[in-house]
Structure 1
C-alpha cells in the first residue's frame, strides 16, 4: 500500500485541472494516504521563454507566494489527519543555472520538499519541451538528428542537473528520470541507453539523492510504464537509492496512478526517511 505521494500538482498549474487543493487532500484521505508533497511547477527562470505554444508549462512568478501560503495553511488545517508538505518541481534548464539558484535561494527556506526535473532540452540557442506532444517530439527528432539524439541529449541533461551547483536549497529528489520515453511506442529508441542510466543512478547514489518513482507514464498512451521502468528501479534498489512514489497527479483522480505497475517489492519511503 502506498502511504506517501511525493509529487502532486495543484490548480496553480496552468496546464492541469482546476481541482481544488482540498479535493486532492480529501481524495488522499479516502485512499488511506498518510502524506502528500504538493510540488507545483516552479516559475521558469528569469529570462527563459517557454517554448510551448501556450507558454503554460509552469506557474507564473506572481502566483508563487500565494501558492506557498495556501499550502502552508492546508498543512496547518489538516495537521491531525495527514502530513502535508510544501514543495516545488523545479526545472533544470541548461544555461539558466544562475537564475534557478536565485529562485531557490529566495523560496528555499519556505519549502519542506522539492524535485528537480528536466522538461526542456537545448539545441544551439533554442529550447524544446520534451514531453509536450508527439508532434513536438517529432520536430525534436529532426532538430537533434534522430530519436537516439533526443535520448542522448536528455540523459546528458539529467546527469548535468544532478551535478549542477544550484546552491544549498537544490532539490534532493530527481524527477521522472526516463521522461524521454513518454512517446516510446511511436518513437522507440534504437539504443538502450543502459550505460547512461546506470551512470545517472551511480551519480544519484554518490550524492545521496532520492529518486521520484513516478506513475504518470502508465496513463500516457504512448508510454504505458512508470518513470523509470522496472529494470531501472531494480538497479536503484541495488544501490539503495531512496524511492519516493509520485503520482504526478494533475487532477485529484490522478492520485495513486500507476500503483499497480510498480515493482511490488520496491521499498517506498517518505522524503525524510
Structure 2
C-alpha cells in the first residue's frame, strides 16, 4: 500500500487541508508508504501561462515545505513511511535551469516525479490540463487535437531522454495527462506508436511510471493515467508502476484505485 503522488497545502491550486490530515487519512486507508510530491517552483525566467499563475509553489515556500515534511517524518516515523518529494516540470527550453535546480534540491529529496504540463508553440506556452478553454486555445494554435497530442508525446519523449543531471526524477508522471479532456476533445489519430516509443525509452533507462488515479475522477477523462492497455504494455517491459492518487485534498487519497488494474499495483 503505497501512494507515490500526493500534493499539499503548499499547492496554490489545491486545498488548504493540513499535512497531518493527509497522513491520518493515508494511515486510516491502510497505506504504509506515501510520497508528498508538491509542484516544484517553476524556473524563475518562465512565465506561468495559467490565468491565476497558480501552477506551482514559489521558491520562498520551498524551505518551509521541506522543514514541514521533515517534522512530519519524525512525528509519524512509527506509523508510516513518509517520503519528501517534488513533482518537477519538464519545460522545453528550460532544461538547463531545471537541471541546476535539481542539483541544488536533489540531495534533500527522497522521491520525485518528472511531468509535462506545458507545451510550447513558437514562443508561447500552454498548460495542457488547466481547463477546456485553454485546451481549446491549444487546439486552435496547433491546428488540430491530433497535433496537440503529438506535441505532448514528443515533449514527453524529450523529458524521458533529457539529461537533467544525477538527480533527475526516475518516475514519469501521468503519462497520458493529455487525455484529461478526451470526451470533449477526442483524438482521431491513434497515438499508440508514440506511447510505445516512450515506454521503450523508460524501459531502457530503468525508470518508473506514475500509475495515476486522478483521471478516473475527471468527468471528461474517466480513466487512469495511463489507461489499461498502456499499463499492460508497461508490465510486459517490467516497468515498475507506482500508484499515485495525485491528491490535492485529503479526501482524494485512494482515488481511482478501485477501477485500476489490480495486478499492476506496486
The bucket for the TM-score relative to the shorter chain is over 0.9
For 1:234, the equivalent position in structure 2 comes to 232
For 1:60, the equivalent position in structure 2 comes to 58
Matches within 5 A, 1:103-118: 103-118=101-116
Aligned to 1:250, which of 236, 239, 248? 248
Matches within 5 A, 1:32-181: 32-181=30-179
Q: What SS is found at the alignment partner of 1:265? A: helix
The number of equivalent residue pairs is 266
Structure 1 position 46, deviation (Å): 1.8
In the superposition, the TM-score normalised over structure 1's length comes to 0.97
Q: Deviations over 1:116-166 (max 9, x none)?
A: 000000000110000000111011000001000100000000000000111
Distance in 1 (CA, whole Å) between partners of 2:191 and 2:155 is 14
For 2:181, the equivalent position in structure 1 comes to 183
Structure 1 position 102, deviation (Å): 1.1
Aligned to 2:24, which of 19, 23, 26? 26
Structure 1 position 104, deviation (Å): 0.6
Distance in 2 (CA, whole Å) between partners of 1:146 and 1:70 is 44
Distance in 1 (CA, whole Å) between partners of 2:140 and 2:12 is 28
Structure 1 position 174, deviation (Å): 0.2
Q: Deviations over 1:192-222 (max 9, x none)?
A: 1000000000000000000000000011100
Q: What SS is found at the alignment partner of 1:103? A: helix
Structure 1 position 261, deviation (Å): 1.4
Aligned to 2:205, which of 192, 207, 215? 207
Distance in 1 (CA, whole Å) between partners of 2:129 and 2:119 is 10
Gaps of 5+ in 1: none
Q: Deviations over 1:24-58 (max 9, x none)?
A: 00000110110110000000012000000000000
Distance in 2 (CA, whole Å) between partners of 1:138 and 1:261 is 29
Distance in 2 (CA, whole Å) between partners of 1:76 and 1:238 is 39
Q: What SS is found at the alignment partner of 1:50? A: coil
CA RMSD for the aligned pairs? 0.5
Gaps of 5+ in 2: none
Q: Deviations over 1:74-104 (max 9, x none)?
A: 0111010000000000000000001101111
In the superposition, the TM-score normalised over structure 2's length comes to 0.99
Structure 1 position 73, deviation (Å): 1.1
Q: What SS is found at the alignment partner of 2:220? A: coil
Distance in 1 (CA, whole Å) between partners of 2:156 and 2:8 is 25
